[in-house]
Amino acid sequence: MKVGAAVVEITPPLGLEMDGYGARVGGATGVHDPLRARALVAEGPDGTGVALVVADLVGIEPRLQEQIADQVLRSTGIPRERLQLAGTHTHSGPAFHTPSDAERATGAAIADAIAEAWAGRRDAPAAVGVGTVDGIAANRRPNGGPVDQRVTVTRFDDVDDKPIATLVNYGCHPTTLGPNNNLYSADFPGVVCAQLEAAVGGVAIFSTGPQGDVNPGGYSPEGSMVGVVVPWRTFESADRYGRAIAAVAATVRETLEPTPSERVWGDSRIVELRRKPLAKADVAREAATAAASAADVVRTADLSADATYHAITAAAYADLIAAQAEDPDRDRPVAVRISALAFGPLLHLGVGGELFVAHGQRIRAALGDDQTCVAALCDGSVGYLPTADAYEIGGYEPNASLHVAGEGERLADAMIDLGARAPAV
């Protein structure tokens, strides 16, 4: 197996709309730390090539995926089905909801990272190991629900023991920074990569694991939805989280003994999920308008902070449901891309959505906990992919989800089936 890795900066111009929070006011006003795209490629003895790129974006939109995939095919010959295009899911990056020069430049840079990694590929033994980190991720749906503290680390060195890359997978929303932040930042995944590159060398890549129901500290997503400021959601906290994960990853990496492998494989498919039934678009929008008017009345009245919060939250939910009802695809199934790439001993699965932790744990258990990891926000996002139990609990994620209860389990089954098709190590 030959492996290559590369990193490029993708920080866009200031002034752009930022992604992740509807409650954020204004565009980007500065740069706290650069946004980057990090690529990992492998080539097997038979010439099969696979590529993973993770960019400091909420996710990679379908239009941008198409641009990148076309450029990668021309520069490397790697086809779309063996290409994973993931976002870290930082909520402190740009929003690319419509075509723009900034979006096109970002896509070109991401594709260039893959081409650079491919051009620099060389023989590379590899090894996978797992550590744990506490005190970062907490489940918010429900509070005290499952958390996967595992940090999966894959070490790629060349035949002279020089580091090529370190791939780290850990599941937690990279949303330390809240809607009151208007500075571009990679959040804690950027800190993880910077720390590892300084300590180990080579290129560090952070792959965000199943994170749909977990975030740093377990703060309320409804609070973020309406702009509540949480005092500890700071750059200092992001730095602390990133350093903690990087320290675990560096320790695990040091214990690993890379061995040669010939397994390079990849495949992907589209899974169609049953969409939730929705009200008529005009009815849903009328309800949202009424809820917004009610929230305005409550804001101006001398009511408790709790009453105001609930009125604003209700209006935000009504607007969310109205937007779903107005979606031109509302009567079509929810199409989710799933993928699997084998980088020697590691099986790296991807899903185009915000997978809940329990789904990820079940997938890993079925395919081999210590040699498998799952990346959320990989090849776009259809939104939250909750467990059936979460629909009974209610709250932001199941309300925002597009599919009916039980479809998340069916999607996890499809991912297990796809991963099981990988050749043996």
Express each pLDDT in 102-124 by its tens digit.
Answer: 999 999 999 999 999 999 999 99
CA-nearest of 85, 103, 78, 81 to 93 is 103
Q: Which residues pair with 169 in a beta bridge?
A: 152, 207
Residue 35 has pLDDT above 90, yes or no: yes
Q: Quickly tell me which residue has 């089905």 as its tokens.
A: 81
DSSP state of 402: S
Residue 270 has pLDDT above 90, yes or no: yes
Residue 337: predicted pLDDT: 99
**Residue 161 region, left (φ>0) first, then alpha (ψ -120 to 50), else beta?**
left
Task: Give the HSE-up count for residue 288: Cα atoms under 13 Å, Cβ half-sphere.
Answer: 18
CA-nearest of 211, 134, 207 to 168 is 207
Express each pLDDT in 350-360 by its tens digit.
Answer: 999 999 999 99
Angle at which helices 187-199 and 235-255 cross, to 10°: 40
Which residues contact residue 373 at a Cβ distance below 8 angstroms, ignoring those fewer than 6 apart? 152, 169, 207, 209, 346, 347, 348, 349, 364
Residue 123: predicted pLDDT: 98
Alpha-carbon gap, residue 391 to 301, rounded angstroms: 34
Residue 143 has pLDDT above 90, yes or no: no
Task: Count Cβ atoms within 10 A of the Cβ of residue 242 and give its class: 0-12 exposed, 13-18 middle, 19 or more buried.
Answer: buried
Tokens of 92: 């402190």
CA-nearest of 382, 365, 284, 263 to 329 is 382
CA-nearest of 25, 40, 43, 52 to 375 is 52
CA-nearest of 381, 411, 385, 410 to 397 is 385
H or E segment to which residue 323 belongs: helix 305-326
Residue 302: predicted pLDDT: 81
Tokens of 245: 């994960």
Residue 144 has pLDDT above 90, yes or no: no
Angle at which helices 407-420 and 357-367 cross, to 10°: 30
Residue 319 has pLDDT above 90, yes or no: yes
Residue type, 26: G
Angle at which helices 62-76 and 101-119 cross, to 10°: 30
Q: What is the mean pLDDT of the chain?
A: 97
Express each pLDDT in 217-242 by its tens digit.
Answer: 999 999 998 899 999 999 999 999 99
Alpha-carbon gap, residue 356 to 213, rounded angstroms: 5
Tokens of 145: 């629900």
Residue 57: φ, ψ to 5°: -140, 160
Residue 141 pLDDT grade (very low, low, confident, very high; cuts 50, 70, 90): confident
Residue 150: predicted pLDDT: 98
Alpha-carbon gap, residue 312 to 301, rounded angstroms: 13
Residue 417: predicted pLDDT: 99
**Alpha helix segments (H runs only) across 157-304:** 187-199, 221-226, 235-255, 281-300
